[in-house]
Structure 1
Amino acid sequence: MNRRFFAYIALIAWLSGCAVAPEKPAEEYQLTNMQYLQQQKKWVLEGRLALVNEKDSVSVSINWRHNELRDDIELAGPLAQGRVKISVTPDRVAVDDGDNPQVFYGPVDEVLAEQLGVDLPVDSLRFWVLGVNDPRQTYIEQPGGFYQGRWLVRYGEMQAVNADTLPKKMTAEKDKTRIKLIVDQWVLM
């Protein structure tokens, strides 16, 4: 019995030696190395989004398709309940909750804040999710991120996507509002 026990331990030790070493994590966030992504015209991300303010807290899955003319953002709660589709073009926001599709006109961020009750700066967020500042506004670089438009944007983890390095985890905070994004999949086109 002792021999069997030792043989079992030896087998476990040998198998654990065969374990695959974890991949080297992507490099740390460096804004200057990523500025070229401001020119990225088309991309898709899938992940999870948490929005917290002084009144509410919500966690949803997110599927965001971006091209030069339009952003299509689909948010869905647990088990795909509470699905909302948001289509954004300059000065126009279409919100479809499955029951009552509506179209609103005006500055995108103001419309979303008014209609959804949460500060979601989509106009700048389309750059921030890529790990870069919005080139239309001034910014102050910070360790691990930057400060722009009264928002503190930070990147907690980066990931390799083909030959690029893109955010895996990011947060944006302003006053009592916090946005946390975890990107599970990127597609750059």
Structure 2
Amino acid sequence: MSYVFTRRFFVTAFILLLSACTSVPKMPGDAYSKAARDYLYGLQLWHFEGRLAISSPKDAWSANADWRHSGNSENLNLSGPLGQGAVAVELADGVVKIDRGGGNVQSSDQPERFISQQVGLFVPLESLRFWVVGLPDSAQDFQETTDGFVQAGWLVEYKTMQKSAGQVMPQKMIVSKDRLKLKLIIDQWDLQGFK
């Protein structure tokens, strides 16, 4: 009798342990009330520091990421270990500028096409501005999924969330389309005093 009880106890404990390991993280649909979404859409200034990895069948790379959003302007600084290979990307009023240092600055009024030509990968830079704060691009239709949404053929998944200045913000997210995958881990958000 005690053998059966002990066996059942361990099987039950093992099943509970496994189910705890596979719990579903809280996603934007669960975390954001309408008021929170309205607040985030209206956010004029924000900043984060984190790490970015992009992979495709032809290439893969990773970088430290420092992104500052101010009104209609995006400033994204990417760098390797110890700041090596630093690249600054600025998007403002529909014009993108890429600064590779040493006076090597290029610009275009076709941001996504230009980025694609420069890095060999298509990255939806204008929509990414919304996606990194956990929102769909307000100018396009989207379909909700369990972990996020699909927009313009891109699957946007929020794997973990974090609190910053009382707001629930993405911590780990994956954006993918076809065989291109962009993974972003945000170490620190700065929303204090910005609205």
Same structural fold, with TM-score higher than 0.5 when normalized by the shorter chain: yes
> Which letter does structure 1 place at the counterpart of 2:164?
V
Structure 2 equivalent of residue 10 of structure 1: none
Structure 2 equivalent of residue 35 of structure 1: 37
Q: Is the 8 A contact 1:92 1:105 kept in 2?
A: yes
Structure 1 equivalent of residue 173 of structure 2: 170
Q: Is the 8 A contact 2:28 2:158 kept in 1?
A: no
1:148 pairs with one of 148, 151, 158 = 151
Q: CA RMSD in A?
A: 1.4
Q: Is the 8 A contact 2:136 2:142 kept in 1?
A: yes
| Residues in 1 aligned to 2:127 and 2:142: alpha-carbon distance in whole angstroms | 12
Deviations 1:116-165 (A, max 9, x none): 22222110001000001000000000001000011000000000112110
Q: Is the 8 A contact 1:75 1:83 kept in 2?
A: yes
Structure 2 equivalent of residue 9 of structure 1: none
- Structure 1 runs (4+) deviating above 4 angstroms are none
> Which letter does structure 1 place at the counterpart of 2:26?
E
1:51 pairs with one of 50, 54, 58 = 54
Deviation at 1:100, TM superposition (A): 4.3
| Residues in 1 aligned to 2:152 and 2:176: alpha-carbon distance in whole angstroms | 11
> Which letter does structure 2 place at the counterpart of 1:184?
D
| Residues in 2 aligned to 1:71 and 1:30: alpha-carbon distance in whole angstroms | 23
Between 127-136 and 78-87, the greater mean CA deviation after superposition? 78-87
| Percent of residue pairs identical | 35
Gap runs ≥5 in structure 2: 1-24
Alignment of 1:15-164 (within 5 A): 28-31=26-29, 33=33, 34-36=36-38, 37-164=40-167
Deviation at 1:62, TM superposition (A): 0.2
Q: Is the 8 A contact 1:92 1:103 kept in 2?
A: no
Gap runs ≥5 in structure 1: 1-26
Deviations 1:100-128 (A, max 9, x none): 42232222111111122222211000100
Q: Is the 8 A contact 1:94 1:101 kept in 2?
A: no
How many positions carry a matched residue from both structures? 163
> Which letter does structure 2 place at the counterpart of 1:70?
S
> Which letter does structure 2 place at the counterpart of 1:50?
A
Deviation at 1:70, TM superposition (A): 1.1
| Residues in 2 aligned to 1:177 and 1:99: alpha-carbon distance in whole angstroms | 30
Deviation at 1:39, TM superposition (A): 1.8
